[in-house]
Amino acid sequence: MKNDEERMKELLRQALPGTGEDVEPKRDLWPSVLQRVSAPAAESVAAAPWFDWALLAGLVGFVALFPAAIPVVLYYL
């Protein structure tokens, strides 16, 4: 039984040799990591639901048409 196990392990090691100790990546990965780390801020702006943008556009339009209403809007905010 023990011999079977050892033979099996040996077969596996011959078929799939180890990768070696502390292998280094071929390219500098830091720029890719930094890009991923910086991405969420940009993504969160783009990922805002459409109705948020519609509400903002409506508010800007309202303020452009009725500038006198700005103090009233600010009062209620």
Binding site for another protein (CB under 8 A): 4-5, 7-9, 11-27, 29-30, 32-34, 36-37
Query: Could you tell me the smallest distance in angstroms from the CB atom of residue 55 to another protein?
Result: 29
| Cβ proximity to another protein, 25 vs 71, nearer residue | 25
Query: Could you tell me the smallest distance in angstroms from the CB atom of residue 69 to another protein?
Result: 41
Closest alpha carbon to 59 in 46, 50, 47, 70? 70
The pair of three-digit structure tokens given for residue 4, joined into one six-digit string: 């079977």
The pair of three-digit structure tokens given for residue 21, joined into one six-digit string: 């100790």
Could you give the count of Cα atoms lying within 13 Å of 44 in the half-sphere of its Cβ?
5
The pair of three-digit structure tokens given for residue 24, joined into one six-digit string: 């280094």
| Cβ proximity to another protein, 1 vs 65, nearer residue | 1
Query: Could you tell me the smallest distance in angstroms from the CB atom of residue 41 to another protein?
Result: 12
